[in-house]
Amino acid sequence: MTTQYTHRVTIAVPAPLIPDANHLALLLGESSADIETFNQASYTDGTTEYAVAHTVVKPVFLGPTQTGELPETPPHAEGLLDREAAQRAFDSLNQSGGILMAVDVDPHTQFAEWGLSRIESEEPV
Amino acid sequence: MNLINNSLLAYYVRRARRSTWTPAALFAEGQQGAWYEPKPQYLFQDAAGTVPVTADGDPVGYMQDLSGNGNHATQSTSAARPIYRTDGTLHWLKFDGVDDGLQTGVIDYSSASSITVMAPVYKGRTDSAILTESGPVGANTGGYLFGLGSFSSSQDVFGVNGATGDIVRSGENVVEEIAIWTGRGSISSGLREIRKNASTLNTTTVPATPDVLGNRNLNIGARGQSSLFLKGRIFGLVIVTSADEGVYQLGEPYLAELAGVQL
């Protein structure tokens, strides 16, 4: 059998847009837990901090970027989704100051191309 | 002649035992822990365990614990699921080093003071990353940690219990190879040992205390699903509340076979 997850996406969300981005993730994702896809910012471009994600997706995930329209609310998002927030996040995609997304690239290479580096933190052993 | 025949017989007996032995034997007397093999029959795409993994490249939201303890590892967030990979012979989970991780429910370790962790792992970069842990050793009494990469003086580390310093270092940080890692520790004896490919890299003895391991979630591939993300591949994982040498003597060859490594 062949996997249905034929694409991968790398996403970087500026910290102020994390709440909206999570509603977009919930709408386009597969689980109610996707409302928590983005939590703490772990990368920075020196000015703005970003929360990041990288995942495999089915082709349907990329549909909205081709049509310009968000899909209907799926069952797992009922009662949780803020469509206005999801729409704001979607409208910000790859705009100045908005959410960054790239398709079918190595995430670490993409972070570097976006000028993002990991925020170093002292982790206890 | 008789001695030679007996030696050959002993060899074949040992070989037969090895060929039929599985980590199930490590849990036969109720030892706590977990045993994972990332093969499709033990994997599901969703955290609820309803959509099976069937193909190379499928995301993994549920990995069955084969030990009988029910410590199944899950990931509810779609983007944070590692990927099932196979080359037709070997099977592994690929962690992207960005956000992937699995976690169990809280495991009751309250009757144990020893632990052995064994896993064949491909480490993809030198950055510090969690192979598996129940909590930072320095911050939680009774936690254990197996960290790969640039921990403490740029080395891999294994540690048990709660005082900073209760770790043993590998003395190296080699990447882009599949290695059979073992960490072995006992709160009651003070033993800490880190092994790679069936050889001891380092061992130390710290002050023993009459404590037990703490009840915590088991994290795989990340710290609390929020940091220290592993970029690499895990071909199997065994965690058992015992520090007997027999655990790794039998476990390491078994796990090496899962990863196609010759010990």
Question: pLDDT, tens digit, for every residue of B195-243?
Answer: 999 999 999 988 877 788 889 999 999 998 889 999 999 999 999 999 9
Q: Which two tokens stand for residue B214?
A: 């703490």
> What's this model's pTM, rounded to 2 decimal places?
0.93
pLDDT of res. B90: 98
Please determine, for residue B15, whether its predicted confidence score (pLDDT) is greater than 60. no
pLDDT of res. A120: 86
The model's pLDDT over B151-161, given as tens digits with 9 standing for 90+, comes to 888 899 998 87
pLDDT of res. A15: 98
User: Reading across the β-sheet that carries B167-169, which strands appear in turn?
Assistant: B43-44, B62-63, B73-74, B102-107, B216-220, B129-133, B144-151, B155-160, B167-169
Using alpha carbons only, what angle is made at residue B131 by residues B33 and B231, rounded to the nearest 5 degrees? Answer: 145
> Cα separation of B184 and B146, whole Å?
10
Q: Taking CB atoms and an 8 Å cutoff, what residues of chain B touch A33?
A: 47, 76-78
Nearest CA distance, B128 vs chain A (angstrom): 9
- Residue whose pair of structure tokens reads 């008789």 in the numeric block: B2
Which residue from A minimizes the CA distance to B96?
A: A54
Q: Would you call B137 an interface residue with chain A, using a CB distance cutoff of 8 Å?
A: yes
Q: Would you call B153 an interface residue with chain A, using a CB distance cutoff of 8 Å?
A: no
Q: Which of A60, A64, A52 is nearest to A5 (CA)?
A: A60
pLDDT of res. B208: 77
The model's pLDDT over B60-116, given as tens digits with 9 standing for 90+, comes to 999 999 999 999 999 999 999 999 999 999 999 999 999 999 999 999 988 898 999
Please determine, for residue B2, whether its predicted confidence score (pLDDT) is greater than 80. no
Q: Which of B169, B200, B167 is nearest to B182 (CA)?
A: B200
Which residue from A minimizes the CA distance to B143?
A: A125
- Is B98 in Cβ contact with A52 (below 8 Å)? yes
- Is A10 in Cβ contact with B78 (below 8 Å)? no
- Is B97 in Cβ contact with A125 (below 8 Å)? no
Q: Which of B235, B85, B100, B121 is nearest to A5 (CA)?
A: B85
Mean of all residue pLDDT scores within chain A: 96
